């Protein structure tokens, strides 16, 4: 693999997954704090109240980022730290991110900030959350403060992280906060997230006249049919509509896919929430496109499923999440985006894997994660050889953290976190990533030997 000098390497985290400091310095509760308290929702009822204690240990974490040698670090702001109550700005909340951003820059690391990575304040949820169209205005209040206070130091803005998860896992499937199972709510919630995205892009460019690049991050899953049968093809079309097209089409084509609108209409009472002009705003041009890629989907027809598909048996090697390891399908995905959707520079804003890590004599030999990362970086390098213009890669994640409904059971970090002591231990994958970054993919060595001096 090989990466040119302009390609950027980074690592990524999000506020609720690492910060802790649940009620400190004016923070109020988010929907993830309350969701974690509901029995049966999160593995062993874990929560992010302490998490990686990053709020107090960010200096140490910055040193780790620096030692990895990456150019950029992607993190998100906690909305309930900045607006603990409706319309009430908390200076200490924004001050934390100013401090963090400033320190990153002093250490030569470019901050990439995500405005929304799922921790909606409870006050907003109590007024209907994303289902309420007013959420767009609440989000813009957050965006405005962040632009005012942080824009001069920020390298790039990401409006939303994975509206599929926040919208469909949160309001349709119920596996994420707020845990609702209502498709009508889900499509409204997604619409308001996408609308707030478009308006936040407009605000940065028009009101702030800012040149800072801004984009959105979608999680995309290339979908394949188990067989060539018409039924399985239909299943794949619907799964693709539900996972990918429902987000790609509005953002790049200014319309929701009609086949999916029809399919969803069994549960969606009316599409009257789409107001005149909304779709143009959602499709406001951005500067780059962020993609989180983890796995492919293999599906087959199922009459029992609302949208006629279900996951099919796959014999691929899997990560600790049970997800197929599928770097070739990652390439298919990017090629499709180029053919059907966009010429914008692409950034892989998340990619990584969970495995069952063990600490042995102070080391974590996570060879499977090393292999996963190498395969996906090789894919990025191949894609760029084809002219696909992938300009950066953020590894998920800098360190083990609160993995949503899986709590601390799933470890995605390249740095191990001992959640009893908060000790951080570099895994072999961290050494290997540092080596790749340093050599820009030019040279291959055996992890854990010559790289240990990094």
Among all residues, which ones are annotated catalytic?
A: 162, 350
| CB 416, min distance to ligand FCB, A | 16
Which of 278, 324, 350, 357 binds ligand FCB (CB under 6 A)? It is 350
Which of 212, 238, 292, 381 binds ligand FCB (CB under 6 A)? It is 292
- Give the separation between CA 62 and CA 330, rounded to whole angstroms: 30
Query: Smallest Cα–Cα separation from 306: which of 343, 342, 266?
Result: 266
Q: Of 218-257, which residues contact ligand FCB (CB under 6 A)?
A: 219
Look at strands 423-426 and 415-418 and give their pairing: antiparallel
Which of 412, 426, 431, 433 binds ligand FCB (CB under 6 A)? It is 412
| CB 299, min distance to ligand FCB, A | 19
Q: Which segment (22-30, 160-168, 277-285, 438-446) binds ligand FCB by CB under 6 A?
A: 160-168
| CB 77, min distance to ligand FCB, A | 14
Contacts of 371 (CB under 8 A, 6+ apart): none
Q: Of 2-61, which residues contact ligand FCB (CB under 6 A)?
A: 14, 17
Query: Smallest Cα–Cα separation from 347: which of 216, 166, 165, 202?
Result: 216
φ, ψ for residue 424, nearest 5 deg: -105, 130
Whose Cβ is closer to ligand FCB: residue 14's or residue 238's? 14
> For the stretch 420-442, what's the b/e string if a residue is b when 16 or more beta carbons lie within 10 angstroms of its beta carbon?
eebebbbbbbbbbbbbbbeeebe
DSSP calls for 92-118: HHHHHHHHHHHHHHHTT-EEEEEEESS
Angstrom distances, CA of residue 179 to CA of 132, 168, 218, 235, 287: 16, 10, 20, 25, 33
By CB under 6 A, the count of residues binding ligand FCB is 12
Look at strands 309-311 and 297-301 and give their pairing: antiparallel
Binding mask 163-192 for ligand FCB (x = CB under 6 A): --x---------------------------
Look at strands 297-301 and 156-161 and give their pairing: unpaired
| CB 292, min distance to ligand FCB, A | 6
Q: Which segment (29-37, 101-109, 157-165, 229-237) binds ligand FCB by CB under 6 A?
A: 157-165
| CB 160, min distance to ligand FCB, A | 10
Does residue 404 touch ligand FCB according to CB under 6 A? yes
Q: Which residues bind ligand FCB (CB under 6 A)?
A: 14, 17, 161-162, 165, 219, 292, 350, 396, 403-404, 412
């Amino acid at each position: 693999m090989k990466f040119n000098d302009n390609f950027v390497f980074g690592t990524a985290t999000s506020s609720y997954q690492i910060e802790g400091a649940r009620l400190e310095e004016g923070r109020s509760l988010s929907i993830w704090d309350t969701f974690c308290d509901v029995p049966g929702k999160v593995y062993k009822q874990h929560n992010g109240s302490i998490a990686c204690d990053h709020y107090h240990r960010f200096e140490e974490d910055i040193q780790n980022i620096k030692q990895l040698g990456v150019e950029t670090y992607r993190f998100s702001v906690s909305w309930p730290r900045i607006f603990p109550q409706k319309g009430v700005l908390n200076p200490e909340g924004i001050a934390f991110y100013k401090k963090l951003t400033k320190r990153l820059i002093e250490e030569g690391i470019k901050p990439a900030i995500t405005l929304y990575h799922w921790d909606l304040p409870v006050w907003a949820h109590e007024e209907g959350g994303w289902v309420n169209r007013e959420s767009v205005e609440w989000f813009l209040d957050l965006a405005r403060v962040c632009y005012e206070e942080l824009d001069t130091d920020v390298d790039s803005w990401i409006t939303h992280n994975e509206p599929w998860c926040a919208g469909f896992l949160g309001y349709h499937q119920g596996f994420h906060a707020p845990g609702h199972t209502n498709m009508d709510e889900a499509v409204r919630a997604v619409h308001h997230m996408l609308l707030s995205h478009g308006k936040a892009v407009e605000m940065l460019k028009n009101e702030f006249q800012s040149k800072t690049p801004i984009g959105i991050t979608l999680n995309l899953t290339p979908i394949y049919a188990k067989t060539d049968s018409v039924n399985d093809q239909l299943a794949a079309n619907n799964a693709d509509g539900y996972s990918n097209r429902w987000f790609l089409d509005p953002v790049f084509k200014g319309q929701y896919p009609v086949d999916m609108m029809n399919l969803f209409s069994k549960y969606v009472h009316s599409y009257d929430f789409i107001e005149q002009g909304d779709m143009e705003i959602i499709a406001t041009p951005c500067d780059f496109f962020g993609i989180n890629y983890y796995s492919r989907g293999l599906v087959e027809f199922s009459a029992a499923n609302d949208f006629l598909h279900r996951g099919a048996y796959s014999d691929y090697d899997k990560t600790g999440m049970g997800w197929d390891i599928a770097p070739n399908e990652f390439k298919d995905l990017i090629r499709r985006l180029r053919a059907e959707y966009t010429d914008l520079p692409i950034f892989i804003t998340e990619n990584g894997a969970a495995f069952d890590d063990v600490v042995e004599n102070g080391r974590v030999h996570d060879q499977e994660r090393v292999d996963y990362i190498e395969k996906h970086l090789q894919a990025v390098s191949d894609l760029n050889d084809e002219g696909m213009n992938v300009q950066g890669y953020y590894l998920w994640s800098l360190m083990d953290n609160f993995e949503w409904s899986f709590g601390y059971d799933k470890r995605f970090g390249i740095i191990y976190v001992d959640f009893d002591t908060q000790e951080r231990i570099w895994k072999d994958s961290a050494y290997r990533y540092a080596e790749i970054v340093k050599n820009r993919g030019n040279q291959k060595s055996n992890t854990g030997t010559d790289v240990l001096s990094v």
